[in-house]
Structure 1
C-alpha cells in the first residue's frame, strides 16, 4: 500500500479550513433577536481576537451592529444589537438590546466584553436558518 502524501495534505488542509470556519459560526439560543434571526439559526461572525488576529476592533463598533459579548448577567455569550454608545467617566460604554426584547440588557457593556460581531453583507446579517438545532439539542438547550 502506497501512501499518497498529496491526498493526506489535502485532507489536512480541508480539516483546518473546517475547524477555522466552525470557529466563525455561532448558534442562536434564544428568540431575543427575532425576526432578524431565530433560535436554532447560525450567524457568521468575525472575532475581536482569533489566534492573535483582530478581525475587527471592538472599539470601532457602532450603533446598529449586532455583537456577541460576555454578559455579566448571563452565563453564556449574548448576541444582541448596540442601540446607544455613551462616554461614562472616560470609558466608552455600549447599551445593547435584543430586537425582540422590551428593554435593553441590564448593564452597559465595555469594548473588552465584545468578542464577536455578526458579519453583514450589503447591510444584511449573514444568517444560516435552522441548522443549529442539532447543536442546541446536543447541548441540552
Structure 2
C-alpha cells in the first residue's frame, strides 16, 4: 500500500477550511431576533479576534449592526442589534436589543465585550435557515 501525500494534503486542506468555516457560524438559540432570523437558523459572523487576526474592529460597530457580545446579564454570548451608541464619561457604550424584545438589554455594552458581528451582504444578514436545529437538539437546547 502506497501513501499518496497529495491526497493526504488535499484532505488536510479541506479539513482546515471546514474547521475555519465552522468557527464563523453561530446557531441561533432563541427567538429574540425574529423576524431577522429564527431559533435554529445559523448566522455567519466575522470575529474581532480570530487566531490573532482582527476581522473587524468592535469600536467601528454602528447602529443597526447585529453583534455577538459577552453579556453581563447572561452566561452565554448574546446575538442582538445595536440600537444606540452613547458616550458615558469618555467611554463609548452601546445599547443593544433583540428585534423581538420589548426593551433593550439590561446593561450598556463596551466595545471590548463585542466579539463578533453578523456578516451582511448589502443590507441583508447572512443567515442559513433551520439547519442549526440538529445542534440545538444535540446540546439539549
Identify whether the pair has TM-score above 0.5, normalized to the shorter chain: yes
Q: How many Å separate the matches in 2 of 1:138 and 1:5?
A: 35
Give the Å deviation of 1:16.
Answer: 0.2
Q: Which runs of 5 or more residues in structure 2 are unaligned?
A: none
DSSP-derived class of the 1:115 partner: strand
Q: How many Å separate the matches in 2 of 1:25 and 1:90?
A: 34
Partner of 1:61: 61
Partner of 1:138: 138
Q: TM-score, normalised by structure 2?
A: 1.00
DSSP-derived class of the 1:105 partner: coil
Give the Å deviation of 1:92.
Answer: 0.3
Q: Which runs of 5 or more residues in structure 1 are unaligned?
A: none
Q: TM-score, normalised by structure 1?
A: 1.00
State the Cα RMSD in Å: 0.3
Partner of 1:37: 37
Partner of 1:6: 6
Q: How many Å separate the matches in 1 of 2:134 and 2:72?
A: 27
Q: How many Å separate the matches in 2 of 1:82 and 1:73?
A: 16
**Is 1:23 paired with 2:23?**
yes
Partner of 2:109: 109
Q: How many Å separate the matches in 2 of 1:2 and 1:129?
A: 43
Superposed CA offset, 1:5-64 (max 9, x none): 000000000000000000000000000000000000000000000000000000000000
Partner of 1:79: 79
Q: How many Å separate the matches in 1 of 2:80 and 2:140?
A: 22
How many equivalent pairs are there?
141
Q: How many Å separate the matches in 2 of 1:114 and 1:138?
A: 27
